[in-house]
Structure 1
Amino acid sequence: MRYLVLFQYRGTRYSGVVQTVADQRLLGVQNYLEQAAQSLKPLVPIKFCISSRTDAGVHALCNSAHVDIQRKAGKPPFPGSVLVSSLNRCLKSEEIRILSACQVPDDFHARFSALSRTYIYRLVMGCSYNFQIPVFERDLCWAPRGDHLNVPAMQEAVQFLLGTHDFSTFRSICADTPYKSPIKTLIHADIRPFSSFLSYHYIHRQLQFWELEFRSQSFLYKQVRRMVGALVAVGIGKLKPYHIKELLEVRDSLAYPQNTIAPAAGLFLKSVEYDDADLQAASAAGE
């Protein structure tokens, strides 16, 4: 039986979703998920096919994966609620939580069936140094230098990124990343104030929280962090809005301004979107 599993994690202590070749000392989120799944006593080891790969330090409010679970003859499929409780019990010491699990058709694929992916990036303005970030926000946002952002200029700049483009300048080249077409379609982009759940404690410090949101069917390696870094450079006056258009047009990753890419800590995979028909068909057939 195939299941779609939704899960979240705080990525600070992991090498990303998968264990990286560069650092074998840290396990990836997938390693812990698959270790926990063995408690279900499947006939064959359970493999999590992850929809969206995130790097070390990047978080997920909701990532997804599909898994195939084969039980002994005569045993019924697991209800989704049993998968959630069993896996979370095994993951209780980790910063990983299963949100839901449901049966899906056998041809459903967590990665290739996805219609789009949405990322958010969190900024805090008003900190001169990273060590001044409030304790409960550390590793969850980026504090660029400066007291404020020129948000209208950033909103003007982000319009150049919307639509279908060759995003070669906004991709990082990595030896272990397979080649992908640099042509991507950015469906949605937004820059808005963000109210931290503890933000009222920081009023006296005059901290401002901002959230940048991007949605596309898929993204290139570090594309979101590069777009954020360039937009922040516009917001603090290092770049002009038209420079974003020029960076797109040059189509060269080496043309991207040095020391501009946003750090991993502020990036969250917000959601992975699927066709409702796929999930409804599964619900009707299963639970």
Structure 2
Amino acid sequence: MHTRARYLVFFQYIGTKYSGAVKVPPHQLERKGIQDHLEDAIRRLKPLNPVSLFVSSRTDTGVHALSNSAHFDLQRKNNKLPFTEDTLVEALNFHLRTEQIRITRAHRVPDDFHARFHAQSRTYVYRIALGISHGSLLPLTDHNLCWNIRNTELDMGAMRKAAALLVGTHNFSSFRAVSSDLPFKNPVKTLDVADIQPGRSFSHTHFHRDIPIWELTFRSRSFLYRQVRRMTGALVAVGQGQLSVPQLKDILEAQDSLAYPQGLAAPAHGLFLTRVDYKDSDLKLSQQMSEEQFPSTGNSEDST
């Protein structure tokens, strides 16, 4: 009886203390990646098969996620039926309880499903707090969760004009990090959304003063390494008057990472991966499941 099951899981994390979303090389184990902790939690379920997690979206050190995703295979001992989706979420979260990582949902998916290659789009939101001279002036609910800028105002009209230039299909080589370890990746991307809207502090109604928050939203099927942070930094520079809209256009059209001004990229801690979207048809197997087909096998503490 074949009892191996493939699962797609969605998970969130505060990335401050982690070395990015993917696992780190053995010689860098002083700071683990999110993938390391997720694989450790899966191993605690004592599967028969070796544990190998495939993360859909790489996020850098210090970047957060409200919804990243990954897939993995799991085969239980003694021909036990696969975990139900709810039981799997509870079991993994039980073993992740000491970390700032949580599984939000799981789907049983076909054996040929791939979390990275089946993703239709990824959405990032960058949060900016204005008029903050020092990070200690932010409420704890926003500390390390936004980029605090001394300016009390940005030229949002100019920023939106600049953002509009980025929308569409372009060679984004100028917005790829110079130190990218993936130089072979196709630099031509289609940016579907580059939007700038007012946001809110996480403690808006309870803090002693109002903090202007702005959110920059970017959506594409995929991004280059540090592309979002470099686009954000350039747009903020336009808002501050350091760059003009034509200058940003020149940077884009240069198609050269060295054309991007040094020190302009936005810091990691304001960036959130907020969505990874898939076609409903790719998740059809999980929609056919029922509690009768895959009965619960116990609570999260003894689900091994």
Q: Which residue of 2 aligns with 1:283?
A: 287
Q: Which residue of 2 aligns with 1:2?
A: 6
Return 5+ residue gaps in structure 2 as ranges. 292-304
Residue from 42, 47, 63 that aligns with 2:52: 47
Please report how far the alpha carbon of residue 259 of structure 1 lies from its aligned counterpart in structure 2 after TM superposition. Answer: 1.2
Question: AA paired with 1:4?
Answer: L
For residues 141 and 119 of structure 2, what CA distance do their matches in structure 1 show?
33
Please report how far the alpha carbon of residue 243 of structure 1 lies from its aligned counterpart in structure 2 after TM superposition. Answer: 1.6
Please report how far the alpha carbon of residue 278 of structure 1 lies from its aligned counterpart in structure 2 after TM superposition. Answer: 1.4
For residues 109 and 201 of structure 1, what CA distance do their matches in structure 2 show?
43
Say if 2:108 and 2:285, in contact at 8 Å, map to a contact too.
Answer: no
Q: Which residue of 2 aligns with 1:213?
A: 217
Alignment of 1:1-287 (within 5 A): 1-21=5-25, 23-174=28-179, 176-177=181-182, 179-202=184-207, 204=209, 206-285=210-289
Please report how far the alpha carbon of residue 24 of structure 1 lies from its aligned counterpart in structure 2 after TM superposition. Answer: 3.5
For residues 267 and 63 of structure 2, what CA distance do their matches in structure 1 show?
9
Pick closer, same or farther for the CA change 1:55–1:12 going to 2, 3 Å: same
Worse overlay, 238-247 or 86-95 = 238-247
Counterpart secondary structure, 2:150: coil
Question: AA paired with 1:69?
Answer: L
Worse overlay, 13-22 or 223-232 = 13-22
Pick closer, same or farther for the CA change 1:202–1:4 going to 2, 3 Å: same
For residues 203 and 249 of structure 1, what CA distance do their matches in structure 2 show?
45
Aligned-residue Cα RMSD (Å) equals 1.6
Counterpart secondary structure, 2:157: helix
Counterpart secondary structure, 1:261: coil
Worse overlay, 41-50 or 68-77 = 68-77
Say if 1:163 and 1:185, in contact at 8 Å, map to a contact too.
Answer: yes
Pick closer, same or farther for the CA change 1:39–1:146 going to 2, 3 Å: same
Q: Deviation per CA, 1:259-282, whole angstroms, max 9, x where unpaired?
A: 110000000000100001111343
For residues 140 and 215 of structure 1, what CA distance do their matches in structure 2 show?
20
Counterpart secondary structure, 2:144: coil
Question: AA paired with 1:61?
Answer: L
TM-score (norm: length of structure 2): 0.90
Q: Deviation per CA, 1:237-260, whole angstroms, max 9, x where unpaired?
A: 111112221111111111111111
Pick closer, same or farther for the CA change 1:86–1:178 going to 2, 3 Å: farther
Question: AA paired with 1:221?
Answer: Y
For residues 207 and 139 of structure 1, what CA distance do their matches in structure 2 show?
15
For residues 238 and 92 of structure 2, what CA distance do their matches in structure 1 show?
44
Instruction: Among all aligned residue pairs of Structure 1 and Structure 2, give the percentage whose two residues are the same amino acid.
Output: 52
Say if 1:2 and 1:105, in contact at 8 Å, map to a contact too.
Answer: yes
TM-score (norm: length of structure 1): 0.95
Return 5+ residue gaps in structure 1 as ranges. none
Worse overlay, 139-148 or 159-168 = 139-148
Counterpart secondary structure, 1:118: strand
Please report how far the alpha carbon of residue 178 of structure 1 lies from its aligned counterpart in structure 2 after TM superposition. Answer: 5.2
Say if 2:109 and 2:282, in contact at 8 Å, map to a contact too.
Answer: yes
Counterpart secondary structure, 2:192: strand
Please report how far the alpha carbon of residue 133 of structure 1 lies from its aligned counterpart in structure 2 after TM superposition. Answer: 2.6
For residues 77 and 238 of structure 1, what CA distance do their matches in structure 2 show?
56
For residues 258 and 174 of structure 1, what CA distance do their matches in structure 2 show?
12
Pick closer, same or farther for the CA change 1:253–1:16 going to 2, 3 Å: same
